[in-house]
Structure 1
Amino acid sequence: MVFPAAGPSRVRIIVAPDSFKGTATAEEAARHLGEGARSVIRDAEITLAPMADGGEGTAATFSGRTVTLPTTDAAGRLTEASYIYDAETATAYIDVAAATGLPAVADKPVPLTGDTYGTGVLIADAESRGARRITLCLGGSATVDGGTGILVALGATPLNAAGYALRPGGGALRDLDYIDTAQLNIPAASLEWVLLTDVDAPVTGPTGAAAVFGPQKGAGPEDVELLDAGLARLCEVTGVDPATPGFGAAGAVPVSLHWLSTMLHGTSDHVIVVPGAPLVAQALGLDEMIPEADLVITGEGAFDEQSTGGKVVGTIADLVAGTGAALGIAAGRVDAVPPRGTLVAELSGDGGTDVATQLREAGARLAADYLRISTAQG
């Protein structure tokens, strides 16, 4: 969306934020930040490009028809979830968070028993509608099951040494002996997989899925130790290197899907794991637009050390680097040092001021700061 200039264009501004989780979608954030910038630079040409990084809301950035169906959440409770299906390209865009997201179980987290079965239901449904490729957006999950719930939904059953099916969730994975594929849904399992990550974490270890993200999903220290051991066992059974960057995303979902695809095709060529934000940016044409911009505004709920590790803000910063554009970051909280020369506007956090107003104020401050530095630089 472009806000046309009121007169001859002097300043070209691109507004490309992530969502401010729980308070504003990426679309809302972009609109409010753009309105704030417009209040200061009235003759600017402002392009809104709401972003996503593989987390919640990424699927919606792609074109296609919305499909909604019954499935289960991470706790196994009946729910409804939606995904995007593009019949022209035979591609389904699915957020893991749609069925298996953290908000649905925030009142009672399930770090040891939560599983991704509900996401597998969406995958199987997409294949039945003609999908040949699944673009799976991995952020925002409530689970640390290594994607084994998806395997179960597709007919592959993790078993222990006695031949009994494992209990759902990552807490049982240390007892994994092998995965039975006798009832495998081969058409769904043999799809092309594009796995979009919002982190570059490995599967196990101090920077892995359990240690870093388990506590966010309700795991205590003993739970983290149990989950890490379970994921290590899953990697051993599937032959996946637990140090592989990005394979810790969404509670290590890539582990199971990499194994599944490689097992069926005899090669890993049919499954790729890539950072989601650069792909979304490319789909929006930002790699071409940003070099022509004067100011690029991005943002997220909290700017921290993870922000530059495959997320939206880091991706936009990389695209701005080396161009003539100035970079502005709006954030509800700033917990890390931004790239040198970056303009920063922290939301007021005033409980009496709605988020839309805070975002407009942040957009206005960034625009005013841009005018100051551009004037100083001549």
Structure 2
Amino acid sequence: MRHLPYPLDLGPMVHIIIAPDSYKGTATAEQAARLLGEGVRSVIRDAEITLAPMADGGEGTAATFDGRTITLPTTDAAGRLTEASYVFDGSTAYIDIAAASGLPAVADNKVPLTGDTYGTGVLIADAQTRGASRIVLCLGGSATSDAGTGILVALGATPMNAEGYSLPKGGGSLGDLDSIDTAQLNIPAAAVEWVLLTDVSATVPQAATVYAPQKGASAEDVMLLDAALTHAAETLGIDPHTPGFGAAGAVPVGLYWLSTMLHGTADHIHVLPGAPLVADALGLPESIPQAQLVITGEGAFDEQSLTGKVVGTIADLVEGTDATLAIAAGRIDVDPGADVITVAMGEPGDVEKQLFDAGAQIAADYLRISTAQG
């Protein structure tokens, strides 16, 4: 990494916003923002630095919202006892599906056909008993492909086959879905306002073909899940090709059916890209036009990065302003365009040093560009 050997004063204060995603498995968004900021300040001593750790609906999104952290016993995607947390502000619960139903907890024994979201449903039901009238469910990082049926079971609804027997848990059995019994439904929990934050725009078939292999599905499993999830969506009256409805193993399918069944309309459920909503919550649309340099980043900058992910959302907000965009990533696989500062940090090693050095290099490159432009 190259950077200036001493901090500089630049006259008028430079306003810098640092808004990275998490670097999965190596640094949280909060850690990345802090370390990048320390690197920047080693070069531009008097910069006004705003840290705005971001998320896109994946794991860590709930923590970007203000509120009290609630932790309780629940189950993971394999049905094993665990603990999980969510954020509660008195009327809204912010819940990462990865908190209870995430892939890391079952990495030792992946459950592509039988994993379910029941544990997430436990968190949802708990939040409603505490007074939550709105559930913001962040859909990235799940280990499941169950169309949200585990959540439905936790809320008292039972998926049934044509013979009237309850289905085994997980997406592998959804090819036999015929109806959902709501006789024991927890109506107060089911009737909340749902905001589902997606980190991908996947359709239901893509939940199987693109994302199930990451959850341990074999080629044969993928074919089974593709048919099962598509059948479940069609049985519940949902177009399987709706963008976003394949997120988190097609969780929006079950929850959309639940909300529209109870209310008679889709007015109480919203499936939205996560990154723009988080950016709005942090005030970035207002603050970025006032900045001179905006730094974002993620583990790998690739062809998906500019399609609804954190880096793409930040790039969209910088476009048309006078700010310079900088990206710090482990890999830079595609060209982000002209006038964008990039730093490729390489394979994870001493991540704290890599992020610090990336911040310093971005600051040095920004100074060089600024000087060249007069």
TM-score between both structures, scaled by the size of structure 2 = 0.96
Q: State whether residues 134 and 193 of structure 1, in contact with CA within 8 Å, keep that contact through their aligned partners in structure 2.
A: yes
| Paired AA for residue 367 in structure 1 | A
Work out the percentage of aligned pairs sharing the same amino acid: 74
User: In the alignment, which residue of structure 2 is the partner of 1:200?
Assistant: 201
Amino acid corresponding to residue 312 of structure 1 in structure 2: V
SS of the residue corresponding to residue 204 of structure 2 reads coil
Report how far residue 42 of structure 1 moved: 1.5
**Of 264, 282, 285, which aligns to 1:284?**
282
Could you list the per-position Cα deviations for residues 205-257 of structure 1 after superposition, in whole angstroms to 9, with x for gaps in the alignment?
Answer: xxx11111111111121111111111101111111111111111111111110
1:31 partnered with 2:31: no
Per the alignment, residue 186 of structure 2 pairs with 185
- Looking at structure 2, the residues matched to 28 and 218 of structure 1 have their Cα atoms a distance apart, in angstroms, of 29
What is the alpha-carbon distance in structure 2 between the residues aligned to residue 248 and residue 308 of structure 1? 19
Q: Which of 17, 21, 25 pairs up with 1:22?
A: 25
Equivalent of 2:369 in 358, 373, 376: 373
- Aligned match for 1:318, one of 316, 319, 329: 316
Matched, 1:12 2:15: yes
Answer yes or no: is the 8 Å Cα contact 1:113–1:170 preserved in 2.
yes
Distance apart, 1:85 and its partner CA? 0.8
| 3-state SS in 2 of match to 1:121 | helix
Paired residues of 2:275 and 2:308 also in contact (CA < 8 A): yes
CA contact (8 A) 1:9 1:45 kept: no
**2:326 paired with 1:328:** yes
The one-letter code sitting in structure 1 at the alignment partner of 2:368 is: R
Q: Which residue does 1:356 correspond to in 2?
A: 352
Q: In the TM superposition, what is the alpha-carbon distance from 1:374 to its structure 2 partner?
A: 1.6
Name the counterpart of 1:94: 95
Map of 1:80 onto structure 2: 83
Q: Which runs of 5+ in 1 are unaligned?
A: none
Question: 1:260 & 1:140 partners in 2: Cα distance?
Answer: 22
Q: Letter of the 2:184 partner, please give it.
A: Q
How many residues align structurally?
Answer: 367
Secondary structure of the 1:146 match is coil
1:53 aligns with 2:56: yes
Q: CA deviation at 1:376?
A: 1.7
1:308 deviates by 1.6
Counterpart amino acid of residue 58 in structure 1: T
Deviation of the 1:41 alpha carbon: 1.3
Partner of 1:212: 210
Distance in 1, Cα, partners of 2:10 & 2:68: 38
Per mean C-alpha deviation after superposition, the further-off stretch among 13-22 and 367-376 is: 367-376
Report the 3-state secondary structure (helix = DSSP H, G, I; strand = E; otherwise coil) of the residue aligned with 1:36. helix
Give the structure 1 partner of residue 166 of structure 2: 165
Q: 1:43, CA displacement in angstroms? A: 1.9
Q: In the alignment, is the contact (CA less than 8 A) between 1:74 and 1:115 conserved in 2?
A: yes
Q: Please state whether the residue corresponding to 2:86 is helix, strand or coil.
A: strand
What per-residue deviation string (whole Å, max 9, x for no partner) do you get for residues 304-334 of structure 1?
2221221111100000011111110111122
TM-score, scaled to structure 1? 0.95
Structure 2 Cα separation of the partners of residues 308 and 221 of structure 1: 29
Describe how 1:245-324 pairs up with structure 2 within 5 A: 245-324=243-322
Q: Distance in 1 between matches of 2:245 and 2:11?
A: 48
Tell me the secondary structure at the aligned position of residue 347 of structure 2. coil
How many angstroms apart in 2 are the aligned matches of 1:369 and 1:30?
18
Kept in 2: contact 1:303–1:331 (CA 8 A) = yes
Verify the 8 A CA contact 2:331 2:346 in the aligned structure 1.
Answer: no
Which secondary structure does the structure 2 equivalent of 1:306 belong to?
coil
Distance 1:171 1:9 in 2: 61
Shift in Å, 1:8? 5.5
The 1-side partners of 2:346 and 2:42 are apart by 18
Alignment RMSD (CA, Å): 1.3
Using the alignment, how far apart are the partners of 2:335 and 2:167 within structure 1?
A: 44
What runs of 5+ residues in structure 2 fail to find an aligned partner? Answer: 1-7
Aligned position for 2:72: 69
Alpha-carbon separation, structure 2, partners of 1:281 and 1:241:
29
What secondary structure is seen at the aligned counterpart in 2 of 1:67?
Answer: strand
Counterparts of 1:159 and 1:336 in 2: how far apart (Å)? Answer: 47
Letter in structure 2 aligned against 1:259: W
Q: Which amino acid aligns with 1:281?
A: A
Once the two structures are TM-superposed, the CA of residue 294 in structure 1 deviates from its matched residue by 0.7
CA distance in 2, matches of 1:64, 1:6: 38
